[in-house]
Structures are given as structure tokens and as C-alpha cells.
Structure 1
Amino acid sequence: MLVVWFHATLLQRLGSGPLWHSTVGRDVARCRAGWWRNLLFSNNYGDHNHQYCLLVSWHLAVDTQMFLVCLPLVYALCRRPWLGRAVLASLFALSVLVPFLVVWIGRHDALVLPILENIEDLPSSRYMQEVYVRTENRAAPHLIGVVAALVMVRFRQSHFRINKAWSLAGLVLLKAAAVGTMLCAYPLYAPGWERSQALAALYAALSPVLFAAAHAGVVLLLCFGSLGNLKKILTWRPFRILGKLTYGANLVHTLAQVYYKGTLRVQLPTDVFTFLWMAAGDAVFSFATSFLLWLLLEAPARALGGLVFGQRAASRRHKTS
């Protein structure tokens, strides 16, 4: 909410330029009108005026909504496994069927295309509004996460291990499947290929499933596989630190981009060096700002929460002992 507040109040006062009103001013107006949706974690459902405040935060709303959905599901899996599995299977089937029907009936594209309409104003894109950010079209990866968690709970106390050869082969196949899932979209828009709406809908429905399943498989391999030094590299402490900053970096990275576009007064060259230079600066700015937010907000909040809930847990253990 601090980032939303910054967009709605201070951002507009920090610069000027010929594109300032059409870029920064537009985002400021959206945050002033739709900030309350971010507060209620419903900002992935905008209105007819495209009032998406801080569009990159859409997946926080999806995560929160799916967390609320999965709470009773996990409870049922623990208390009534047969009922929980039936509900999980039903929800998973719906999570694949719904985006298929939405894309097919609505004649949407299979993914967000880098066309001028989307580049100029992504929140007003019809695909973004009706497909990309909506929870019903994003539920499948979360349910795959629940399945992966069930597998981990099932085998965590056993001595089940996958040998090194199968672990390495599985890792290569899973990463190839993840990359292949993205590349499979190429034939849908390749020059000379006739566009098929049914194939576009099928890709939109199955690609999140395959991509999430591949990465869930990698996590399971790290837990039960024999990856040796490769596991040490993948679980290296600096990577874990960067992992804690990733969401914050995603949340603030558009801030520098919008500001720079709004203050731009000359046309930039479109060469590889300029692209790499701006990408490196964007990454450094995003992670540095995320680290600052983590120090000022997230770390104190986590420490306070651990102190409060830790004391409650200790008190309950003391009473039962």
C-alpha cells in the first residue's frame, strides 16, 4: 500500500515532460480512483474505465484470493481426504476449462502480444482485462502447488530418494518442458500459419498448467532428488536473499520506467547496447529499492509477527505441558 500511496500522491510532483500527463498522470489518476481495490486485494478486477492501480500487483490479489479458497480445501484434505481430493480434482478441472472457454468464446489471443495497443496502455488491453489478471484464469498453478505440497507431506518422513542419474535427467526434462511451453506459442502466430482459435484457447488453458507443473517438479527434485553440488548452487544463500526481494522488485520496477518515459524529451536509439544498459539499470534500481522497502517495512513486520505469534505458541505449549 505504500507503493500505491506513492503513485497516488507524490509521483506526479516529481517531474515533468511532454509525455508526463499521458503516462505518469494516467497512472496517478488510476491509483486515486482505484486504490481501495488494492486495499481489498481485488485490484485484478478493474471497472469499465480500466482503473487498474499498479497493474503489476495483480498477482498479489490472485495469491490472496486463492489463499482464501485453498484454506477450506487444505482443511478438507486433512480432515476428510476423500472429500478434499474430490474437491481438488473438481477445482483443477474447472481451472483448465474456464480459461479455455473464456479465450475460445471471447476470441482472445493465446497470450499478451507485444503490439502497439498493449505497449502504449497495457491496462486497457481487452486480453489483460478479461483473461490475464483474473483469478478464475489463474487458479491452476496454485492448485498444482497444493498437489506438490501434498506430495512433500506424504514423503517427507520416509527415506524415499531419487538417485542421481534420474534426478539430473528429470531436472533437464522439467526445465526443457518449461521452456518448451513458452516456445509452443510461436506456431500460433508464425507467418504463413493460419490462426486457430481452438489452439489458442488450448494453449491459454494448458500452458500455465505445464509451466507450473515443471517448476513444482523441480522443487520436489530439490527435496527428494540427489543433485549434489547443483542443489547447493540452486539453494545458495545469495539466491535466497534475492528471492526475498523479487516481489518488491517486481512491484517497483515500473516506477522508474514510467518516470523515465514521462520525462523523455528526445527519441532513444533502439540498439542492443541501449537495451542492455537500460535493463541493467532497471534491475539495479528495482532490487535496491526493494531492499530498502524490505528494511523499512517487511523485516520489522516479520520480526514483530514472529515475536507476537512465537510468544502465543510458547504460551500454549506451556499450558499443555
Structure 2
Amino acid sequence: MTFLYERLSSGPIWMHDDLIARCKHSWLKNILFINNFFSSHQTCLDGSYLYSLVVQFFLLLLPMLFISKRYYTTVLAIAVSSLLASIIYTFYEVSTTKLSPTLLLTANPISPEIYDTYIDLLYTKPWARAPAFLIGFLFSFLFTGESSISNNLLLFAPLILFLFGIFVIFGLYPYAIGTTIPQIFLAAYSALHRPLWSFIICSLIYLRYRNRNIDSYYK
């Protein structure tokens, strides 16, 4: 990316902002996977911030798994507390700085100032993107248990997860078409939509894993 970006193409629809220059001068941050700790105007983010997040969370996961073998309750408490703290942080930032709940196409275009602020405060930062990682980490403990899930829960859990999914997918539709939405709702959506989506995915995987013979129940 650093050496090839500026040579990939040219023309009237090619990028003419400072992205190419930032990519050229921030190669060390990319190699060290720390580019997402800096402002979007100081480094080459593009899609590489996702790789940085994956590496950072993976490096955090290793000691957490090792320590949890001996201090299970402590690690569990830290993970849950960190999850709640991240959600509260996102809610606070969006509600106090009047940010967009996420980056999406809207009838009223998001201003560049709000766009940049959202990226710098929330979109690329590990402390704001931690809920998905922490939810996956917490679900990993459930796979070691042997308790079965009741048939009633099996019937209602997919419906509940479906409703959560509808909220995540369509919750911002009124906002996207230009309807005025209270900032408190936008902040709540911003803080909860990624954790909810992660919870849905992990729950579906867990339900299927714990009930591998579920098909026989419906026959």
C-alpha cells in the first residue's frame, strides 16, 4: 500500500486529497499495527485499521486466556466491566458531541467535520470497538460447559435474535431518510448496534453448537 498506492491509477475519478501522501509517510505505523491510534489526518487508515484491530485484540486475547485458567472470576469481571465501559464511552461521545450514530449514506449528507471526528473518536479505536471482541471472548467460556438448553429457549431464542437483528439493520432507516431523531436514541444505537450484532452471531453459533441434534426435536 505504501509504495504502490500512488502508482495504482490516475485520472479524474482518482483520489486527489492527501491520502496518498499520508500513506507514503506513515508506513512504519502500518507495519507496527498502530495506525488506528492516530488521527485520520496523521496516518494512512484506508482499510488497514481493521488489520490493526485484529492484531491488537489477538495480542490481548492470549494473556487473557492464559490468566483465565487460574483467575477465571477476575478475568470475567474485567471483561464484563470493559464491555460496559466501552458501551458507555460510545454513548457519551455520540450524545455529547452530536455525532452521527455510524457512518452511512443519509438524505442529509454527514459533514466532513462530523465524519472525521467519528473516525478519530470511535470508528478506528480499539476501546470503542472492543465490545465485539469481548462478547466473543465471553462466549468462548460457554463452549466448555455441558448444560443443555431447554426446548422452550430453543423456540424463542431465534425470534428474539431476529428482533435484535431487525433493530440493528433498520433502526436507522428514519435517520437515513432525513427524519429528525432525538440524539439520545442515536447515541443508544451507536453504543449498542455493534455489541448486539456480535451477540446475535455468537448466540446463533452457540445455539447450534450446544444443540447439534436439534433437528431431531422438530421431526
* Maintained 8 Å contact 2:87/2:192: yes
Assess, with a 3 A threshold, how the Cα gap between structure 1 residues 91 and 50 changes in structure 2: closer, same or farther.
Answer: same
Alignment-derived partner of residue 4 in structure 2: 10
Structure number having the greater helix percentage: 1
Give the CA deviation at 1:228.
4.0
Which runs of 5 or more structure 1 residues have no equivalent in the other structure?
A: 230-321
> Structure 1 residues 48 and 58 mapped into 2: Cα distance closer, same or farther (>3 Å)?
closer
Q: 1:138 is matched by which residue type in structure 2?
A: R
CA contact (8 A) 2:91 2:190 kept: yes
Q: What is the aligned residue count?
A: 213
In the other structure, the counterpart of 1:32 is 24
Matched AA of 2:164: A
Q: What's the counterpart of residue 202 of structure 1?
A: 188
Counterpart residue number, 1:170: 157
Match among 75, 78, 97 for residue 87 of structure 1: 78
1:224 aligned to 2:210? yes
SS in 2 for 1:17: coil
C-alpha RMSD of matched pairs (Å):
3.0
The correspondence for 2:173, drawn from 158, 164, 186, is 186
Equivalent position of 1:64 in the other structure: 55
1:72 maps to amino acid? P
Q: CA 1:106–1:71 in structure 2 vs 1: closer, same or farther (change >3 Å)?
A: farther
Q: For residue 95 of structure 1, report the CA deviation from its aligned partner.
A: 1.7
Of 103, 110, 113, the match for 2:104: 113
Max Rg structure: 1
Return the offset for 1:39.
Answer: 1.1
User: Would you say the 8 A contact 1:140–1:208 is kept in 2?
Assistant: yes
> What is the CA distance between 1:153 and its match in structure 2?
1.4
CA distance 1:142–1:15, shift in 2 (3 Å): closer
Alpha-carbon distance in structure 1 between the residues aligned to 2:21 and 2:52:
20
CA displacement at 1:48 relative to structure 2: 6.3
TM-score by length of 2: 0.81
Assess, with a 3 A threshold, how the Cα gap between structure 1 residues 200 and 68 changes in structure 2: closer, same or farther. Answer: same
Q: State the AA in 1 paired with 2:158.
A: L
Using the alignment, how far apart are the partners of 1:173 and 1:202 within structure 2?
19
Q: State the AA in 2 paired with 1:89.
A: V
Alignment of 1:116-195 (within 5 A): 125-155=116-146, 160=148, 163=151, 167=154, 169-188=156-175, 191-193=178-180, 195=181
Verify the 8 A CA contact 1:73 1:87 in the aligned structure 2.
no
Amino acid at match of 2:165: A
TM-score w.r.t. the length of structure 1 is 0.57
* Aligned-partner Cα distance in 1 for 2:175–2:110: 18
Percentage of matched positions with identical amino acids: 23
